[in-house]
Amino acid sequence: KRGSGEISGAAIEEFSYEAYGSNGLALIIEGLTDNKNRTLSEIKNILTNYNGKLAQTGSVSYLFKKRGVIAIDSQKTNSQRADLEMLAIEAGAEDLKWQNEILEIYTAVENLEAVKKTCQDKNIVIESSSIDWVPQTELVVDSPKEQEQINRLFEALDSQDDVNEIYSNLKD
CA distance 113 to 49: 40
94 in Cβ contact with 67 (< 8 Å): yes
Q: Is the pLDDT of residue 2 over 60?
A: no
125, 171, 149: which is closest to 22 by C-alpha? 149
For the CA atoms of 76, 79, 80, 84, the dihedral, rounded to the nearest 10 degrees, stands at -90
> What is the 8-class DSSP label of residue 74?
G
14 in Cβ contact with 30 (< 8 Å): yes
Instruction: Give the DSSP H or E segment for 27.
Output: strand 26-33
Strands 53-55, 102-107: pairing kind: unpaired
| pLDDT single digits (tens) 23-78 | 889 999 999 998 899 999 999 999 999 999 999 999 999 999 999 999 998 888 77
Helices 112-121 and 81-91 cross at an angle (nearest 10°) of 130
- pTM for the structure as a whole: 0.83
> SS3 for 154?
helix
Amino acid identity at 156: A
- The per-residue pLDDT for 75 is 82
- The per-residue pLDDT for 8 is 59
- The per-residue pLDDT for 96 is 92
| pLDDT single digits (tens) 70-121 | 999 888 877 788 888 898 888 889 999 998 888 999 999 999 999 999 988 8
- The per-residue pLDDT for 78 is 74
- The per-residue pLDDT for 166 is 96
| pLDDT single digits (tens) 127-167 | 999 999 999 999 998 889 999 999 999 999 999 999 999 99
132 in Cβ contact with 64 (< 8 Å): no
CA distance 81 to 89: 12
User: What confidence tier does 7 reach under pLDDT thresholds 50, 70, 90?
Assistant: low
Q: Is the pLDDT of residue 1 over 50?
A: no
